[in-house]
Chain A
Amino acid sequence: MQSPLRLERRLTQPKWLNWGVPLLSLLGALILGGIVLFATGKNPISVYARIVERGFASTDAFSRTLISATPFAFTGLAASVAFRMGLINIGGEGQLYLGTIGAAFAGIAFQDQPTAVIIATMIIFGMLFGGAWAAIVGILKAKFSTNEIITSLMLNYVAAIFLDYLIFNSSSYWRDPKSYGFPTGKRLTKNAYWNDISIGSIEIPFGFVVAVVAAVIVWFLYNRTRFGYEVGVIASSPNAARYAGIRARWKIITVMALSGALAGLGGASDVGDFRHVLDAKGVQISGYGYTGIVVAALARLNPLSAIFVAVFLGGLSNAGYALQGPDFPSGLVGTLQGLILFTAVAGEILTRYRIKRQNTIADGVIV
């Protein structure tokens, strides 16, 4: 039997939905979460107060949120760039690893240079390594029509093994020969650190500023240039692209490389801003690349929104750790975070579809 309710695609999206739905989603999440909290004997108000306090409310909480948000911003941008052309790049994770390798190389090799030069070369090498890694996927798709989901995912594993190899199983350029006991990478010298930028008492990781700049550039590229226009046509209608003489092959390679370069930039920031070393294990545990897919989806592939979503998820993640403890199992934290994501996704569906009570679909010619 069919349900009396069904989703119908909206022909137009009223303006109020853009702010109304996120607000309603958040309200829905708070109510649902409140029920869960109440059922487990917690006071929802104090829990929510703590999420706000530890995630966003104070300047130092916000500074810490920006730390967590920075890698999400890069991988979110990377995923958005590829998804905008319909390329499902699941490989942000591995491309980020390659970015850490490239940036760590530059950071070690150019350590005697002025800080500005080191940072610039780290950014360039991070992007090159990540971009080249992703370009492999693009070339395979363009030349042999291989499924990019599979190849990009497989390359994540290859990248992880390569990373392990560089630090654990070889005396590579990256490995610190003096590492005591546990194999580690060569630590960057202090002049290679990316220093935070302070605005008032908010500490902004340099990488976050780079991410914002990258987001603006990507937005401009996709909304205001011929390149973005062509990508849009290819994504929406491959036939129309062929009809207009837009070659999809090069675009596939370029867009994948761009996506990988952004993830690689995230890797550079990971080394330059935070770890100051090629941390083979730590970067793998973090799973930034996969989170980027969530960021992109919630941001509706809009690069500027991706920054805000990354900050939101960063704060939510930090607040989650702040909530955890003996009387607050991480499962409950996960449930709350899940509810918020769930309602966000549900809200997103409502902006594009509406619920109809009847068994009808708008398929016939109406206008």
Chain B
Amino acid sequence: MISDNIDSKLTVTMNGIVKRFPGVVANDGVNFEARAGEVHALLGENGAGKSTLSNVLTGLYRPDEGTVSLNDEVVHFDSPRIALERGIGMVHQHFRLVNSFTVAENIILGEQSSSLFMDTASAVERISALATQYGIAVDPSARIWQLSVGEQQRVEILKALYHGAKVLILDEPTAVLTPQEADALFTVLRSMVAEGRTVIFISHKLDEVMAVADRVTVLRAGKTVSTIECATTSTRELARLMVGRDVVFDRVIRANHAKPDNIVLQVSNIDATDDRGRQALKSISLTIGESEIVAIAGVAGNGQRELAEVISGMRPATRGTIAVNNEVVPNSRVRKAMTAGISHVPEDRLHTGLVADHSIEDNLILKSYRGAPISKMSVLRRRIIRAQAKETIEKYDVKTPDTITPIRLLSGGNVQKVLLAREFDSLPSVMVVSSPTRGLDVGAIENVRKRLVDAADSGVGVLLISEDLEEIFALADRILVMYEGSIVGNIPAAEANRESIGLLMGGGSLSAENN
């Protein structure tokens, strides 16, 4: 239950935590301490052991060695539920929501209640109050499957707040928020620590850590590298601590310049509805030229997914046309869109772009299995499929023992390599790419961005849909901003700045800069 006053303040101490998985030591003697009243960032690359450490803290894993203490009392949590009873709540990177339930039902799920039925009405009221208090807009009666990834994460945050966590662990919470929303969240977090709560903020984004955290503990390869006061450090130093070398993301240097006048994709006056049948796209028009990278910035849930799906033929347009190389593509026909030269890298790599349970080689033919040389007279030619898969794995440097390994066993970076390999090898004219680096570590991000730039250099028009402004600024030639199903800004990257884009993403207007 939420309470305005935190009567007991919790200091979390983790000492010498060791957690082994078969073949991997995920945490190797990690020391960590978060005090009441501070935002403590846990910084590290993917695989550094941040998620494992937080899972140990919430009782999902039991450490092989080491102790967890609350206010100097050694505790053993058998489950996240018990941890939550002791005041430790977590917002996971992978949401734990029941898709067919409403927001309110999900939030009160697991709540101890004396009555048999869930008292949804009063819960909705309290959720709305919480949402208003922290400025998190979400419809308590919406069902989870109807929500975007970003909206779902807001539900997770609300859920932890609702259950009155004194120590709140957030696993990369800002990945789907606009800078403004991230700022709003930071305000929430600040007010929470002012109340005496503890916030553990997991991230690999340096700016963000510097913006919100009081102290930061850097993990690398399962070990604690350092714990420092943010006030006494810099992003450059944190980056070095995190990756073990100097890294700077700068604007990528392009070999070929964009030719916006050689239009490869023309989207004209597109309307479309979302899964709930509500209008998601309102008269969208845009063009992409040869070798041009056009970014769509926006908060998740403002129609980006629907736009990507309409362009790739997965979702019918209720109005408007799409043309590739000046030829109109039939509405809502995925295969026609594919043959017209549209390639699509969806945000949900594991379950939309790829079939997680299927082998690498089966996934590589997902778009080419219908014709020669992959199949002949409806029969798949396994030998050719395997030979091509081996070539692709080598060419794109996918780390895997063989071509029949299921996708789900690959690391995030390698999953994305397989997906991009297939899409690049289809020799598209246009690529629609959604959140291509979300959840990847620094090395993988560099690789993916390089591949996208290479594609653009070879003449492909790229539509980059991302919520990561850093990425957009690093790659895009031109930035479009989507808000509530419309394009509210069209700004050459060279003229854009974070603040103006962020303002547009949040529904503001730039009277001076509108064109």
Whether A and B touch directly in their complex, counting CB atoms under 8 A apart, is answered as: yes
Whether A42 is near chain B, meaning CB under 8 Å from some CB there, is: no
Whether B503 is near chain A, meaning CB under 8 Å from some CB there, is: no
- Rounded to whole angstroms, the CA-CA distance of A224 and B376 in the bound complex is 11
Contacts of A11 in B (CB 8 A): 409
Q: Is the CB of A364 within 8 A of B52?
A: yes
- Rounded to whole angstroms, the CA-CA distance of A225 and B381 in the bound complex is 9
Given contacts A362-B21, A364-B26, contact A224 B379 (CB under 8 A): yes
Q: Identify which of residues 291-343 in chain B touch chain A, using a CB-to-CB cut-off of 8 Å.
A: 312-314, 333-335, 337-338
Q: Identify which of residues 37-79 in chain B touch chain A, using a CB-to-CB cut-off of 8 Å.
A: 46-47, 51-52, 55, 60-62, 78-79
Give the interface segment out of B259-267, B349-357, B457-465: B349-357
Whether A359 is near chain B, meaning CB under 8 Å from some CB there, is: yes
Q: Is the CB of A364 within 8 A of B55?
A: yes
Give the interface segment out of B234-242, B250-258, B362-370: B362-370
Q: Is the CB of B60 within 8 A of A367?
A: no
Given contacts A11-B409, A224-B379, A358-B62, contact A236 B355 (CB under 8 A): yes
Contacts of A183 in B (CB 8 A): none
For the complex formed, measure the closest distance between the CB of B28 and the CB atoms of chain A, giving whole angstroms. Answer: 14
Give the interface segment out of A51-59, A117-125, A241-249: A241-249
For the complex formed, measure the closest distance between the CB of B281 and the CB atoms of chain A, giving whole angstroms. Answer: 18
Q: Is the CB of A226 within 8 A of B369?
A: yes
Q: Is the CB of A364 within 8 A of B51?
A: yes
- Rounded to whole angstroms, the CA-CA distance of A12 and B62 in the bound complex is 23
Q: Identify which of residues 219-253 in chain A touch chain B, using a CB-to-CB cut-off of 8 Å.
A: 224-227, 229, 232-233, 236-237, 239-240, 242-245
Contacts of B24 in A (CB 8 A): 366-367
Contacts of B55 in A (CB 8 A): 363-364
Contacts of B352 in A (CB 8 A): 237, 239-240, 242-243
Q: Is the CB of A244 within 8 A of B367?
A: yes
- Rounded to whole angstroms, the CA-CA distance of A166 and B382 in the bound complex is 49
Q: List 15 A-B contacts (CB under 8 A).
A: A226-B369, A226-B375, A237-B351, A237-B355, A240-B352, A240-B353, A242-B352, A243-B334, A243-B346, A244-B334, A244-B366, A358-B62, A359-B62, A359-B78, A366-B22
Contacts of A359 in B (CB 8 A): 62, 78-79
Label chain A's interface by main secondary structure. loop
Q: Is the CB of A2 within 8 A of B358?
A: no
Measured CB to CB, the nearest residue on chain A to B414 is: A367
Given contacts A229-B380, A233-B366, A365-B412, contact A240 B351 (CB under 8 A): yes
Q: Is the CB of A2 within 8 A of B79?
A: yes
Contacts of A12 in B (CB 8 A): 409
Whether B119 is near chain A, meaning CB under 8 Å from some CB there, is: no
Measured CB to CB, the nearest residue on chain A to B405 is: A12
Q: Is the CB of A225 within 8 A of B380?
A: yes
- Rounded to whole angstroms, the CA-CA distance of A242 and B79 in the bound complex is 37
Whether A360 is near chain B, meaning CB under 8 Å from some CB there, is: yes
Measured CB to CB, the nearest residue on chain A to B23 is: A366
- Rounded to whole angstroms, the CA-CA distance of A227 and B78 in the bound complex is 47
Q: Is the CB of B314 within 8 A of A240?
A: no
